[in-house]
Chains A and B, each alone.
Chain A
Amino acid sequence: MWVLPFACACASVASGAPATRPAKVTKADKATAGIDALALALSGADEEAAAKAATALGELADPAAHDALLDGLAFGLRTPVAVEALLGLSKHPAPPDVSSFKRYAGHHNPSVRGTAIAALAKYPDPAAHAVVVQGLHDTAGVVRNAAADAASKGHMREAIEPLLALLARGEESAARALAAMADADLVRKIGDQLGRVPDASLALCLGLVLRRPDFGPDTERVEVVRAIAKITDQSAVSALTDYLDATPKNPPRPSRTEAEKVVEARLSGGAK
């Protein structure tokens, strides 16, 4: 159930009353007045001004700006404004944001829920992870892509199984997310999907793992090369060729040598 601060949002919108001017205007007062103005614009009828206000509020580190965004989202924003507000909110993540993102992750508009789900990558809250995982089941590809990206950025282990299921359906975003998240164990698990997922998707995924500078040691990369070598599709050669192109010859790497052998054998019509 949402915790809705709509009562206060209602009051500020409905009254339209100007803020009471303080006796002495300080720097802080000026900032507050600016946030109030942006908050009013955010909830105003001018959609363009509202979107700009959302962006501006997101740039501010002031908690009041953050609260203004939460209030605006709580009262409901039109689609383009909601997208900006969600992006702004995620620039300064705070635990209370999750419920608001969760609410917009179910929005009828795929762009809105994609934005909300993408933003949840920054939140370690299990509730946030659950929303991202649910996004992997979404019927809209743009939302699944956003969820896959968020799962990758948030290193969400609970997303691995649905990502493998998406990989089996040939979803590129899942291949990229898994590649980004993969450690040695996950690479083996991905390699075991041979025959269960499209060859091209598997080759893309493992090829991306190979090109990750943080993946290693090289003995693990050798295993990845060997896993790719089992893929009979031409995409395997492309993945290994990309790896060869992206890595220097020297100092020599066993994984590169292994990749060269596989590519040469394939190009010369060999079995391997």
Chain B
Amino acid sequence: MKRLALLALVGACGGNAVFHLTAPDNDREALSAALAQRQLPVQASPVNSAHVPRVFVLEVGMGPKKTIVAYDLAASSILWRQDADVQSRIWVGGNFVVELESKQLVARDQQTGAVKWNTSVPGEFIGASADGDRAYLVWKEDAHTWWLAAYDGSSGKQLWKADADGVLGAPAAHGGVVYAPYNAQWLSIIDGRTGKPLARIRGIDEQISVIRTTSRDAYYGSTQGVFELDGKSSSGKRADSSYGQIIVPPQLDHTTYGRDAYDPVQLAYTAADRSRILFATTEGMKLANDGYAVHYFRYVFGFDLKGALTWAYSNPRVELVASEDSGAAILAMSSTGELVALDPKNGGVRLQRNIGTTAPVLGATFDADGWSPPAQGERVETVKALVSIARDHDARFDRVKEFAVRALAQRPGGEVTKELLGVLADARAPQKLKDVVVDLLVARKDPASLSVLAEQLATHDDFLLQTTPLALGPVARAIAGLGGAKLDPAVVATTLAALQSHLDAPTTQVADLVFVIDAMAAIGGGKERPALGSHLLLYHADDDLGTDVAWGRAIVVALETHGGPGERELLRQVAADPRTKPDLVAVIRDALALD
């Protein structure tokens, strides 16, 4: 009896070797029992006891302190504001929130913000979490010992603690269990009430460094992919688990599935919170809403199941510092306190409202699982968002701009072409982006864009108007790409006239002239021949143009390939003219297969 009492004391107050290398893992039965023990809501809902959607925002405060702003999403009102020396993220429990202040884990009443209890962190703070009834804390005691402890959410009384002889990461919790990552390879599932180890998963072909919980689901994995915690997890292998890898465009680099549980920096709100993959799943790791989203600083992109961009959102002026997929909406908070809710299916903006912060927002924790503002037939303005991204002058996002213009170019229509041309006209746009746009314009082959391209040709070198043609070569190349397409004859005539104006313009550079000739030949249908013939005659003996091989090849090919007998006779006569430059003669002879 005395011995039993001693064991019980150890279990309540000291280490009981929950974490060690040789503990059993990937036990199917143990895992099933652990999962069954979770007390999860039937439907996704906020964790807080009132089940009211809330967001807890941390803003810059006076002096070294910061301010926590608790906001009721459903009522659109601030619950409370409290100044505090917050040094971590905020974790949401039933009727409390916890965060780190100085060396104390502090719990605050979720209705008032008043301090309910606090407890010293006995070592280096590694992380915390909470569920309806308890708060959990992980700290590092010395170079070899880590601890996980549970505290009663109402009183702050320590319920149990467990030591580890290897590295523990930041925990996560829901439904009465706590998930503790261990040595980057294991995920222990612990009974939150007793501290009893329920099951342990060992990642066989992937590290476990990321844990994300919603009210009903738990995900774990790494930067490579993510597992849904279910009965299959006992395999420890990707192939036999509910596992997913989401395609993220390379331009949105450093995007992650969740916080790195082993990165001490991410204990606080950081830039890592601004590049996040946002997803929700149905059973068997199937993506809900037919896709997923990526939050990338000011932007949110929606993708379909094949990884193709379906929508985009660009937040005006400032970055989104926090985001969450509630399953019903993509929720985000901007650095100026703007709350944004997007339709996860099409990016429609359901809500965009300032919550009334008074200082820059550092980060936020949403407790709004399953919540969304009501849909009101909001407009989806993906093209506008992509244009806004492409025109963003923030040099940090040059690769995102490239992604945006590529996505833009996938969409048909003259308006899109006009916007792409607008990027070329932007003096502050990076040259690399312009090069991408040029390639996209050429590859676009969109007949509906011909009139827009022709309009672009209206500008010439003009001393009085102080104008110069914009992207003449690329525009001509884009027009040339339309050769063979079904085009409006009236638009072709207009375009041909515009191209000829550049063919005849004295200041058109040879490099551009070549593309102008190509374009005229590609769409002219024979109507371009007199102008091209005249052009050849004008310059066949010219000391400058006549010696340019690229020009010679362009004009000769245009007349030989697209011309008739008259044009070929003209070429023969030019080749026979003793004044014709030798290189040009060679090109003609080659084209006509003359001896």
Q: A residues touching B (Cβ–Cβ < 8 Å)? A: 1-2, 4, 6, 10, 13-14, 43-45, 74-79, 103-104, 106-110, 113, 136-140, 143-144, 162, 165-166, 169
Contacts and interface: CB of A to CB of B under 8 A. Distances in A.
A80 to B, nearest CB: 10
Nearest to A138: B463
B545 interface: yes
B504 to A, nearest CB: 4
A6 B534 CA distance: 9
B537 A6 contact: yes
B506 A1 contact: no
A143 B577 CA distance: 30
A43 B576 CA distance: 12
A148 B363 CA distance: 67
B464 A165 contact: yes
Nearest to B545: A108
B266 to A, nearest CB: 58
Contact of B579 (A10, A78, A139): A78
8 contacts: A6-B533, A6-B537, A14-B573, A45-B579, A78-B541, A78-B542, A103-B504, A108-B544
Contacts of A169: 464
A14 B569 CA distance: 11
A45 B578 CA distance: 6
B340 to A, nearest CB: 49
The secondary-structure label for the interface of chain A is: loop
A44 B463 contact: no
B463 A137 contact: yes
A104 B461 CA distance: 17
A13 B573 contact: yes
Contacts of B461: 139
Nearest to A141: B463
Interface residues of B, number: 30
Contact of B577 (A13, A113, A165): A13
Given A106-B505, A137-B465, 16 more contacts: A1-B530, A4-B534, A6-B570, A6-B573, A13-B573, A43-B577, A76-B540, A76-B541, A78-B543, A103-B504, A103-B538, A108-B539, A108-B545, A139-B507, A165-B464, A169-B464
Contacts of A10: 569-570, 573
B530 A4 contact: yes
A103 B534 contact: yes
A210 to B, nearest CB: 27
B530 A108 contact: no
B531 interface: yes
Given A77-B541, A106-B504, A108-B539, A166 B464 contact: yes
Interface in B528-582: 530-531, 533-534, 536-545, 569-570, 573, 576-579
Contacts of B531: 1-2
Contacts of B530: 1-2, 4
B183 to A, nearest CB: 71
Contacts of B533: 4, 6
In order of increasing CB-CB distance, the 9 nearest A-B pairs are: A10-B573, A45-B578, A76-B537, A106-B504, A137-B462, A2-B534, A78-B541, A137-B464, A76-B538
Given A1-B531, A2-B530, A6-B537, A110 B506 contact: yes
Contacts of A108: 506, 539, 542, 544-545
A4 B504 contact: no
A75 B534 CA distance: 8
A6 B572 CA distance: 13
B543 A79 contact: yes
A3 B252 CA distance: 58
B570 to A, nearest CB: 7
A136 B533 CA distance: 28
Nearest to A143: B506
Contact of B464 (A75, A113, A162): A162
Most central of B463, B507, B543, B576 by chain A CB within 10 Å:
B463
Interface string B73-108: 000000000000000000000000000000000000
Nearest to A45: B578
Interface in B502-530: 504-507, 530
A136 B541 contact: no
B467 to A, nearest CB: 9
A4 B578 contact: no
Contacts of B541: 76-78
Contacts of A79: 542-543
Contacts of B569: 10
B506 A138 contact: yes
Contacts of A143: 506
A130 B578 CA distance: 35
B538 to A, nearest CB: 5
Contacts of A113: 506
B540 to A, nearest CB: 5
A110 B573 CA distance: 27
A44 B464 contact: no
Contacts of A78: 541-543, 579
Interface in B403-446: none
Nearest to A44: B578
Contacts of A162: 464
Interface string B450-487: 00000000000111110000000000000000000000
Contacts of A136: 464
Nearest to B460: A137
A155 B530 CA distance: 33
Nearest to A10: B573
A107 B546 CA distance: 13
Contacts of A1: 530-531
A227 B400 CA distance: 60
A4 B543 contact: no
Most buried by A among B464, B465, B533, B578: B464
A54 to B, nearest CB: 14
Contacts of B537: 4, 6, 74-76
B573 A139 contact: no
Contacts of A75: 537, 577
Contact of A107 (B538, B543, B578): B538
Contacts of B534: 2, 4, 6, 103
Contacts of B464: 136-137, 162, 165-166, 169
A109 B543 CA distance: 10
Contacts of A6: 533-534, 537, 570, 573
Nearest to B573: A10
A106 B542 contact: no
A156 B537 CA distance: 31
Nearest to B500: A1
A165 to B, nearest CB: 5
Contacts of A109: 542, 544
Contacts of B579: 43-45, 78
A13 B537 CA distance: 13
